[in-house]
Structure 1
């Protein structure tokens, strides 16, 4: 089959769109931490892009998308991109294999950036580099294979259009595990830790909303009607979740919070990600609206329990991704992409979504907890109390915002 120039152009553009999401996460998180840690949070995200880019080329792509080994992992056939070139790849006949590889690369980078929520304002930079490399290799790559590389959850029938399970459940539950292992920030719950710069967080959210069109619509891997559907459902669900979170938090807190609005937007982006190419725009309104209310409630629960995962990757990405995965099994419409959900009588699809999402929750949380504990017991995850007091911008980077 001859490759399609329109598909190549769209996936190239989508790859660039998704790339901007990784520093977008950095700005979103950077504005939420204290001023003395602003540079560090942005740097963690941008370094994730470079570090994971190298890992992906050397070994990650092969582990995620190499020929299946026991349903769990890919083999090393594509080690160092061996055999990955300008010919059509096994996952799309419309674009070169190398283009599909780099499109998947930017998904891996933004996932690691999201994980940084779990140790905000207290991670030792050297430990971060080690952990990020281990986590991408041992957690992200197998999950990507399970879902997109022909692994066991795909064989069982679980579907994930653009990464609700692979990206968001994995990163959100990893952040929760990290927060538990590394412990609370010094003074957490005793005195206010106000965001340094909410306008920077708004900018980060803008970059995320913008880049997400490549994330979801690009996952059609073609310039076709399915990409259009994913584009429209992405925007619609995001708008619904942003407005819902804004209204609920306004009623609860007495003010229409800009931070609440952008948090809701991200929740909607997350929730629609697995469903974008399977549901109608009307269904996407429901998915987004539920995500806005649900993720806000989970954030309040986390705060009440005193869990210092305060940039809320777990509440927004982890739980939003979980809802989106289940919602895909409820609202999938055969008219959109040939897959039907519970509302159209397909019980197996809903069960497959439960199995796929549930296994990702358990794997990401447990393995992350083990990896974080190993790193902590060997080289130490956390900066000293004095370094934390001074701030990571100075103590880790020797720079001031």
Structure 2
């Protein structure tokens, strides 16, 4: 526990230091907003400057009388179709992809419990997303939370639209709701691997509700919420719209598809959980070898396929940026798999299937925040570094922390997410083949990209996410422990959660 508090204090220091430097060096430019920061939404209006910037993602309203002839934007069927496919791919990442990846890594007596935890949490968060999650994350409110204006998707109809990252281009709001909901659900499911094989099922569900509400939703709002591009028609208008955006969006943080919102956010919560739930019985003395690497590699392969929807879908359009994110996801994953495999071969004398699968996931994680911002060469470099750095994360760093992070959630998603978020600031530079940031007033890439300034902004986003998630997770775990307890009894843990928690087994001899 001392190590946990020390880590939290260090993270707080980094966050505040980065924030102070960011305020000094790089405020969000009045006329510049990230070209494709991440899934975001906006109210689409023919004359956005004349209307308030409230209620992003709403039905297209009638134009003022003076501009009555201007047609209202309508969704492009190709963009809509791509988002349908991308959303289904993200859902596939969780069930079956993540479930099989995690399930193969635990012992046979806990296989079913892990599958059920992932399945149930994904289902639970999907419902909560519709009830209130979408409204809190993607409506205008404060810099940290949205409003309750769209609770139960109030006001959303088949004709409602959401903005993309191109002026005058929209998609159907319902598919945007589903796409973002799939992100939220898999993020909470990612946490489960950190304390697998010893936590109560009821504790999993209650913790998921608390952490989703008070960590995922505000971080998503801080990073991804903005009023959309259409209102950026002048410096004054851009300044007003930036003021309504999320806290980290205002600072200029780049996160294409969830390096901070998904991976760092979940990984920090998982690490806190590993400390607070405690080590598995026999940890360090008994073998905890994966019971089925076959299923783990199948799960990793499904994750790789689904990740194309995760990253390329985050462009929100079937365009060149989506194609870039697709290619970057492909090559960064491959580079990381080979990097981990070769490094492991050199260090341990043999390359392993687990190493290849883990390396691939590390590459997917690291490229996520950068996918639509960096060039292909930058993606390859990020992948190569992710494989080696995350290999250290699940070996050297794990020993230093002393936590029983069962399935290396922090070593892969935390370390990989932090690495990717920082390197996004480096390789997004136009001088290194990246796209820079887009000036929506001038309708071109900004001419003043600074790698050092952007890296400071990225560090601020990382530090904010680490501290926020850790504090919320700590409080949530404490509350769960007080009311229902976190851990199953020792005899139930030894027998296995499949039988003791669910009354059934994954396998029958």
TM range (shorter): over 0.9
Displacement of 1:190 in angstroms is: 1.1
**Structure 1 residues 91 and 375: CA distance shift in structure 2, 3 A:** farther
Equivalent residue number for residue 469 of structure 2: 364
Counterparts in 2 of 1:152-167, with a 5 A limit? 152-167=247-262
Equivalent residue number for residue 28 of structure 1: 101
Equivalent residue number for residue 72 of structure 1: 144
SS in 2 for 1:68: coil
Q: TM-score, normalised by structure 1?
A: 0.97
Equivalent residue number for residue 25 of structure 2: none
Displacement of 1:87 in angstroms is: 3.2
Displacement of 1:59 in angstroms is: 0.5
Equivalent residue number for residue 125 of structure 1: 201
- Give the Cα–Cα distance (whole angstroms) in 1 for the partners of residues 293 and 317 of structure 2: 36
- Give the Cα–Cα distance (whole angstroms) in 1 for the partners of residues 123 and 265 of structure 2: 20
Question: Which of 481, 484, 506 in structure 2 is aligned with 1:376?
Answer: 481
Query: How many residue pairs align between the two structures?
Result: 400
Query: Is the aligned partner of 1:322 residue 2:395?
Result: no
Equivalent residue number for residue 61 of structure 1: 134
Displacement of 1:39 in angstroms is: 0.5
Gaps of 5+ in 2: 1-72, 226-244, 438-444
More helix by share: 1
Displacement of 1:79 in angstroms is: 0.5
Conservation of the 8 A alpha-carbon contact between 1:177 and 1:366:
no
Question: Which of 39, 43, 46 in structure 1 is aligned with 2:112?
Answer: 39
Displacement of 1:89 in angstroms is: 3.5
Equivalent residue number for residue 237 of structure 1: 332
Equivalent residue number for residue 140 of structure 1: 216
SS in 1 for 2:257: coil
Conservation of the 8 A alpha-carbon contact between 1:240 and 1:268:
yes
- Give the Cα–Cα distance (whole angstroms) in 1 for the partners of residues 489 and 429 of structure 2: 53
Displacement of 1:111 in angstroms is: 0.5
Displacement of 1:51 in angstroms is: 0.3
- Give the Cα–Cα distance (whole angstroms) in 2 for the partners of residues 376 and 219 of structure 1: 37
Equivalent residue number for residue 286 of structure 1: 381
Structure whose CA Rg is larger: 2
Conservation of the 8 A alpha-carbon contact between 1:31 and 1:196:
yes
Equivalent residue number for residue 354 of structure 2: 259
Displacement of 1:303 in angstroms is: 4.2
Displacement of 1:344 in angstroms is: 5.7
Displacement of 1:345 in angstroms is: 3.2
**Structure 1 residues 302 and 184: CA distance shift in structure 2, 3 A:** farther
Query: Is the aligned partner of 1:216 residue 2:321?
Result: no
Gaps of 5+ in 1: none
Displacement of 1:187 in angstroms is: 0.7
Displacement of 1:88 in angstroms is: 4.5
Equivalent residue number for residue 366 of structure 2: 271
Question: Which digits, 9 at most, give the CA deviation of each residue in 1:348-395, with x for residues without a partner?
Answer: 322211111110011111211111111112210110101101100001
Q: TM-score, normalised by structure 2?
A: 0.76
SS in 1 for 2:313: helix
- Give the Cα–Cα distance (whole angstroms) in 2 for the partners of residues 370 and 351 of structure 1: 29
Displacement of 1:148 in angstroms is: 0.7
Conservation of the 8 A alpha-carbon contact between 1:118 and 1:175:
yes
- Give the Cα–Cα distance (whole angstroms) in 1 for the partners of residues 180 and 159 of structure 2: 17
Question: Which digits, 9 at most, give the CA deviation of each residue in 1:48-94, with x for residues without a partner?
Answer: 1110110000000011111122x011110110101223335344342
Question: Which digits, 9 at most, give the CA deviation of each residue in 1:21-46, with x for residues without a partner?
Answer: 11211110110000000001111111
- Give the Cα–Cα distance (whole angstroms) in 1 for the partners of residues 289 and 174 of structure 2: 44
- Give the Cα–Cα distance (whole angstroms) in 1 for the partners of residues 375 and 420 of structure 2: 14
Equivalent residue number for residue 159 of structure 2: 87
Equivalent residue number for residue 196 of structure 1: 291
SS in 1 for 2:197: coil
SS in 1 for 2:171: strand
- Give the Cα–Cα distance (whole angstroms) in 2 for the partners of residues 85 and 359 of structure 1: 35
